[in-house]
Chain A
Amino acid sequence: MTMKVLCLGWIAALSLTACGSDASQSKTTTGSNEVKIHQLSDPEKLNPLTSTDANASTICANIFESLVTNDLTTYERKAFLIKALPEVVMNADHSIDFVMEFREEAAWPDGSPITGNDFDFSLKLIKNPFINCGPMRSSFELFDKVTVDAANPKKFTVHCDTIYNVAETYVTSLQMLNAKVFDPKGLLKNFSVYDMTHNMKALENSAALKEQGEFFNKSFNTALPENAGSGGYQFDKWETFQRVVLHKNKNWWAFKLKDADAVTFHANPDKLIYETVTDLNTAVVALKANELDVMHSIPNRDFVQDMQASKEMQDKFYLLSPPQFAYEHIGINTKNAKYADVRVRQALSHLIDVDKIVQVVAYGLGERISSFIHPLKKEYYNSDIELPDYNVAKAKKLLADAGWKDSNGDGTVDKIINGEKTELEVNVMYNKGNERRKKICLYFLESAKAAGVKINIQVKEWSEMLDAVHTHSFELYVLTLTSSPLESDPKPVWHTSEYAEGSNYTGFGNKESDALIEKIRTTLDATQRAVYYKELQKMVSDQVPVIFLMAHKERIAINKRWDNVVASGLYPGYDATMFKLKP
């Protein structure tokens, strides 16, 4: 009897909830002009300066606007908040001025115009030492003066104290923040960008800066007021660990533009809803059940075998695999005596079947690369560099030429180094939990055997691996480094001065490569810079400090109820603001 009551009670509860709350209520309805986008976790916070994670940046990019935007497919920079790309003026003292003018229509949601003073304020915010945006602040150290045209406040000049190839990218990427919201007391008014750059020691105890900084740090983490940014969307609500909702900014200044479509100004969906789903399997089910419109970073296997191979999925979703500007590689410690001879490094590069890895490990969702520049960045990519082939015979010869022979018949080649017989046992390190890198190491292990090279696989915790890499206490590692479709600086990874504390983990470089890097950084002419870039890539290729494996491809599924869907190499790989509901 008791059991019957219990069973009936349970069934009744299920029926009540299943009937009482329509199952489809939480699903995306065909007619809804709201895009539900998957995110694996909540954003860290929504503060545009102090947040550092990719989710927050993606969400904030809809609320806050930069001076320029990048074309989704060509990656060309296009003027956005400003009328035209900056006019660059070279000064005699090797400094640069960027002269810019905001569009006439550019305005905050309350209708007040965006002017040079807003740029000045946004830069001062970053320079306030009490605001927790250390990494970003250091990138803007170069910009020490903003001059607003007295006659035309929309026009302004930014002074950069040195010639630097990335300076324009930095200055035009600055997002505009509304002073009325972020500094309602006007505490930054009495400070200048110049003082905040050059006389900071004297200002470090300023009560006004401290008050403003603390107000900024604590006030804009989980919600943003309507007037905070000038973008096409405004913050609506954040339900912790559930979703972040943005709604269309009805007063967006770009709606008044006649050429809006031509300059990629979009705010088509009524709402952008960033749905948190922490488990990838659950997210795939949610996608199929129409609870999500967009899912990215789908596991390769699921994307290829469950989605691309399914007619039903193809009918229902756009399955996009745009390029990712990041390269997976095997780094070699060139300072280690075993790998000091370039022939050994070359031999290792012939002992890994990268084509097979791309096909089997990445399920074909990768592109072989020969350089740290992505092939899509055609103007810089050195297409003359040959991809090393999987060639055991060539590897054996290179090793033999370098003096490595199997003198004791144990199957592993050896050599006398510093008076001691050293077997060519190669320790390859990857981070625990990364199955892809584990498979890469296993393939390497198998293929290297044939040339008498013994691979020892080392699995490390992520922080442990980073420590080992930073202190050069490794032989080989497998890692992915991000590159960029935008202008970037090769110095942190390839300059010799970055060996001690930077990201030149492999010890690559000499005076020639350093000189070339300096030329790249100080040449503003893109054509000339391309020549230097190609030379640097050739040097890296010749020295083999790393074995380039592949540039990955994104895996995105977007519900076909949307139109105007464009895949892009720019993160996150699509622009949801462009989506148009199919009739």
Chain B
Amino acid sequence: MLQYILKRILVFVPTLLVISLLTFTLSVHSPGDPVEIIMNASSESGQDADKIAKKDEYQKMRHKLNLDLPVFYFSVSALSESDTLYKIPEKLQRENLARLVDHYGNWDKVSVYYQSLQHFENYAAHLKVSDSLQDHWIALQQITSELYFKSDAAIIENRLSEVEKQLLLIGASTGAGSEISKVKQSFHTMVTQPTAWKNYFPTVHWYGFETQYHLWLSKMLVGDFGLSYYKQQPVITMILERIGPTFMFSILSIIIAFAVSIPVGMNSAIHKGTKKDTFITILLFVLYSLPSFWIATLFINYFTNSEYLDWFPVKGLQNYADGADFVERTLNYAHHMVLPLFCYVYSSFAFISRQMRGSMLQTLSQDYIRTAWAKGLAPKQVYWKHAIRNSLLPIITLVASIFPSLIAGSIVIESLFTLPGLGMLAYEAEVIKDFPVIFTIMLLSAVFTLIGYLVSDILYALVDPRISYSKK
């Protein structure tokens, strides 16, 4: 048995690595720019110095977050793709270049076009234009700047013609004509010499160990889950702050759910077909069909409101006064927990008790139960000593699925009652793309899922002596 457990724990390591990799990949490809999240660069003045400083700050932050490094040790990509595209600092330009490569399959030609565009933009910005022609110069620069975000050939062609038109109106020198010709030429080459076939041939680029994933993993292995992008606090501190309430609600709700559902299910099975069974079944299914957000809203509106029944606090986990003693604190917590706990737990009554009922009915039809009745055993002994153990086997499978919920919490209930749980933390992190927090919560969920499966296997062996994981 011990050997089996150790083996299973060893399997955890590669499983977790794969999960970490998948999580990391998802985060890299999700929309949104972490640097912008941190800098929240919405406020701006029109000063040139301000703009330059902001660009500089952006680059520094990008470097600090290692976002200017390759994502993984290696990349398997299409032959057409660049292995250095990650170095382009502006996200939207980087995305447009990727689109161009996707269209034309030729990074070399795309990069020549990009460079010629940069060169021309710089050239156009320094053109000396008379006062009367300023509007054309403004238009010239604006159209040029748009080209960084265009990947459709027809639109690019249209914009390039506009640029030429504005150059003519400005009466720009032949130098300018030559510069725009270079852009047109590189664009023409890119379009007319596509190597789309390269999109279908894979290539492997090796980047070494200086990668985003490696740095993240190395830190994580020593227990450093990084800083939250948004709060700039250690992620582990944020999780530890929230894990307590979530655990408390989860464990209490699991205990209540099983403590209520197992006897109810048994009772239902024992009195199968009676009015009592029908009543319990209907009641539980009605409860099961009511969404928790609705029940929570009803509770908030009717049980916390001075207009109706002002029995419970509206929100939060506690609100005891400074200096409250242990009993006062405990009662204050319990008072706050009644309504959310009911919302957590009521829907599982039907599910677990129906499983228990079905399992019990199956067990009661077994030969050994008939033998027990024939021996003249009391009903209590038959049900609680002989039948229950075998009936519990299907219930154990539910344990595995319960473990992840230990940390997942319930976003809806936490949100409605403003409970400081992990569900809301995960939700908030998702909304603002706080990847270090998302990674850590996902990894914790994965660990708990794996532990759940292990525990259910062990429980099987404990409940049913016929199941053994030892080699015989």
Whether B149 lies near A471 (C-beta < 8 A) is yes
Q: Which of B21-29, B39-47, B80-88, B112-120 contacts A (4 or more CB under 8 A)?
A: B39-47
CA distance A239 to B245 in the complex (A): 13
Q: How far apart sit A495 and B307, CA to CA, in the bound complex (Å)?
A: 55
Question: In residues 294-335 of chain B, which contact A (Cβ within 8 Å)?
Answer: 297, 300-301, 304-307, 310-321, 328, 331-332, 334-335
Chain A residues contacting B31 (CB-CB under 8 Å) are 461, 463-464
Find residues 188-208 in chain B having any chain A CB closer than 8 Å to their own CB: none
Task: Collect the chain B residues with CB atoms within 8 Å of residue A14's CB.
Answer: 338
User: Does B416 count as interface, using CB distance less than 8 angstroms?
Assistant: yes
Query: Which residues of B lie under 8 Å from residue A418 when comparing CB positions?
Result: 158
Cβ-closest chain B residue relative to A164 = B47
Report whether A289 and B310 are in contact in the complex, using a CB–CB cutoff of 8 Å: yes
Given contacts A282-B314, A285-B300, A492-B44, are A142 and B49 in contact (CB under 8 A)? yes
- Asked if A17 contacts B338 (CB within 8 A), the reply is yes
Q: Which of A13, A129, A464, A500 has the largest count of B CB atoms less than 10 A from its CB?
A: A500
Which of chain A's residues have a CB closer than 8 A to the CB of B219? none
Query: Which residues on the A side are within 8 Å of B317 (C-beta)?
Result: 242
Interface positions, chain B 63-105, Cβ under 8 Å from A, are 92, 96
Could you say which of B141, B267, B314, B420 contacts A289, with CB atoms under 8 Å apart? Answer: B314
B54 close to A288 (CB less than 8 A): no
Q: Give the distance in Å from the alpha carbon of A490 to the alpha carbon of B46 in the complex.
A: 8
Nearest Cβ distance between residue B247 and chain A, in whole angstroms? 15
Q: Are A500 and B138 in contact (CB under 8 A)?
A: no
Give Cα A511–Cα B242 distance, bound, in whole angstroms.
56
By the criterion CB–CB under 8 Å, are A279 and B301 in contact? no
Is A560 engaged at the interface, CB distance under 8 Å to the other chain? no
Give chain A interface residues in 417-474, CB to chain B under 8 Å.
Answer: 418, 461, 463-464, 467, 470-473
Query: Which segment, of A19-27, A151-159, A296-304, A372-380, faces chain B?
Result: A19-27
A20 pairs with B335, CB closer than 8 A: yes
Q: State whether A241 touches B420 (Cβ < 8 A).
A: yes
- In the bound assembly, the distance between CA atoms of A501 and B125 in angstroms comes to 14
Residue among B40, B45, B53, B297 with max Cβ neighbours from chain A (10 Å): B45
Stretch among A320-328, A502-510, A569-577 lining the B interface: A502-510
A472 (CB) vs chain B CBs: closest residue: B146
Tell me, in angstroms, the Cα distance from A507 to B43 when the chains sit together. 20
Pair B131/A511 contact, Cβ less than 8 Å: yes
Bound complex: CA A239 to CA B143 (Å): 52
Please judge, given known A-B contacts A3-B264, A21-B335, A278-B415, whether A129 and B60 are in contact too, CB under 8 Å.
Answer: yes
B contact residues around A489 at 8 Å (CB): 45-46
In the complex, per-residue mask of B414-443: 1 if CB is within 8 Å of any chain A CB, else 0: 111111100010001000000000000000
Q: A6, A218, A470, A501: which contacts B51 (Cβ < 8 A)?
A: A501
B142 near A23: Cβ-Cβ < 8 Å: no
Q: Chain A residues near B40 (CB, 8 Å)? A: 52-53, 135
Of the residues B32, B38, B315, contact of A463 by C-beta under 8 Å: B32
Q: Answer yes or no: B174 CB below 8 A from chain A CBs.
A: no
Q: Select which of B233, B267, B300 is within 8 A of A2 by beta carbon.
A: B267
Compute how far the CA of A141 lies from the CA of B49 in the bound complex, rounded to whole angstroms: 7
- In the complex, the answer to whether A17 meets B306 with C-beta atoms within 8 Å is no
A499 proximity list for chain B (CB < 8 A): 141-142, 145
**Contacts of A282 on B, CB cut-off 8 Å?**
300, 314-315, 416-418
Q: Are B231 and A510 in contact (CB under 8 A)?
A: no
User: A41 to chain B: which residues have CB within 8 Å?
Assistant: 428
Q: A44-B230, A222-B233 are in contact. Are A277 and B315 (CB under 8 A)?
A: yes
B134 on interface, CB distance cutoff 8 Å:
yes
In the docked arrangement, what's the CA distance between A6 and B320, Å?
29
Q: CA–CA, A440 to B435, complex, Å?
A: 34
Say yes or no for B50: interface residue by CB 8 A criterion.
yes
Q: Would A23 and B233 count as touching, CB distance under 8 A?
A: no
A359 at interface (Cβ–Cβ under 8 A)? no
Residues of chain A within 8 A of B301, CB atoms compared: 281, 285
- Which residues from chain B contact A461 at a C-beta distance below 8 Å? 31
Minimum C-beta distance from A36 to chain B (A)? 10
**Of all chain B residues, which has the CB nearest A498?**
B46
Interface residues of B in 209-232 (CB under 8 A from A): 230-232
A134 on the B face (CB < 8 A):
yes
Residues of B within 8 A of A497 (CB): 141
Which of A6, A242, A489: most chain B Cβ within 10 A? A242
List residues of chain B with CB within 8 A of the CB of A27. Answer: 313
CB-nearest residue of chain B to A204: B60
**In the complex, A145 has a CB within 8 A of chain B:** no
Do residues A279 and B46 form an inter-chain contact, with CB atoms below 8 A?
no
Please name the residue on chain A nearest to B46 by beta carbon. A491
Q: B464 on the interface (CB 8 Å rule)?
A: no
In the complex the two chains form, is B313's CB within 8 Å of A134's CB? no
With a CB–CB cut-off of 8 A, which chain A residues contact B334? 13, 16-17, 20-21
B135 interface contact, C-beta 8 A: yes
- Contact in complex: B54, A138 (CB < 8 Å): yes
Interface bin, chain A: 35 or more
Given contacts A282-B418, A289-B306, A463-B32, contact A6 B57 (CB under 8 A): no
B108 within 8 A of A: no
Smallest CB–CB gap between B384 and chain A, Å? 11
Q: Is A226's CB within 8 Å of the partner chain B?
A: no
Residues in chain A near residue B320, CB distance under 8 A: 25
B135 near A510 with CB under 8 A, answer yes
Bound Cα distance A166, B43 (Å): 13
Query: Interface code A279-311, partner B: CB below 8 Å = 1, 0 otherwise?
Result: 101100110111100000000000000000000
One of A132, A141, A239, A290 near B50 (C-beta < 8 A): A141
- Determine whether the beta carbon of B335 is less than 8 Å from that of A132: no
Q: A134 to B300, Cβ gap below 8 A?
A: no
Beta-carbon contact of B45 and A139 below 8 Å: yes
Asked if B61 lies at the interface with its beta carbon under 8 angstroms from chain A, I say yes
Contacts of B145 in A (CB 8 A): 499-501
Is A83 among interface residues, defined by CB-CB distance under 8 A? no
Cα–Cα distance between A38 and B187 once the two chains are bound (Å): 56
Instruction: Tell me the complex Cα distance, A186–B131, Å.
Output: 53
The docked-state distance in angstroms from the alpha carbon of A501 to that of B46 is 11
- The yes or no answer to B12 lying at the interface (CB within 8 A) is no
Partner of A276, one of B148, B232, B280, B418: B418
Q: Write out, one digit per residue, whether chain B residues 332-344 have a CB within 8 A of any chain A CB (1) or not (0).
A: 1011111000000
Kindly report which residue of chain B lies nearest to residue A162, judged by CB atoms: B47
Interface members, chain A 13-63 (any B CB < 8 Å): 13-14, 16-18, 20-21, 23-27, 41, 44-45, 47, 50, 52-53
The reply to whether the CB of B351 lies closer than 8 angstroms to some CB of chain A is: no
Q: Return chain B residues, CB-CB under 8 Å to A137.
A: 53, 57
A138–B318 alpha-carbon span in the complex (Å): 42
B263 at the interface (CB under 8 A from A): yes
- CB-based contact A285/B314 at 8 Å: yes
Query: Does B312 contact A18, Cβ atoms closer than 8 Å?
Result: yes
Interface status of A335 (Cβ within 8 A of chain B):
yes
| B43 near A18: Cβ-Cβ < 8 Å | no
* Contact B92–A278 (Cβ < 8 Å): no
In angstroms, Cα B300 to Cα A288, docked, is 12
Contact call B149/A23, Cβ cutoff below 8 A: no
CA distance A508 to B367 in the complex (A): 87
CB distance from A427 to the nearest CB of B (A): 15
The answer to whether the Cβ of B58 comes within 8 Å of any Cβ in the partner chain is yes
A218 in complex: contacting residue of B38, B47, B232, B415, CB < 8 Å: B232
Contact flags B109-147 to A (C-beta < 8 A → 1, else 0): 000000000000000000000010011001001110110
A134-B41, A472-B149 known; 8 new pairs, CB 8 Å cut-off, are A16-B331, A23-B313, A129-B60, A132-B38, A335-B142, A464-B31, A489-B45, A489-B46
Q: Can you report 19 A-B residue pairs in the complex whose CB atoms are below 8 A from each other?
A: A3-B267, A6-B260, A20-B334, A20-B335, A53-B40, A134-B57, A135-B57, A241-B419, A241-B420, A242-B318, A242-B319, A285-B300, A289-B304, A290-B306, A464-B31, A472-B149, A499-B141, A499-B145, A511-B138
Binding site for A on B (CB under 8 A): 31-32, 38-47, 49-51, 53-54, 57-58, 60-61, 92, 96, 131, 134-135, 138, 141-143, 145-146, 148-149, 158, 230-233, 241-242, 260, 263-264, 266-267, 280, 297, 300-301, 304-307, 310-321, 328, 331-332, 334-338, 414-420, 424, 428
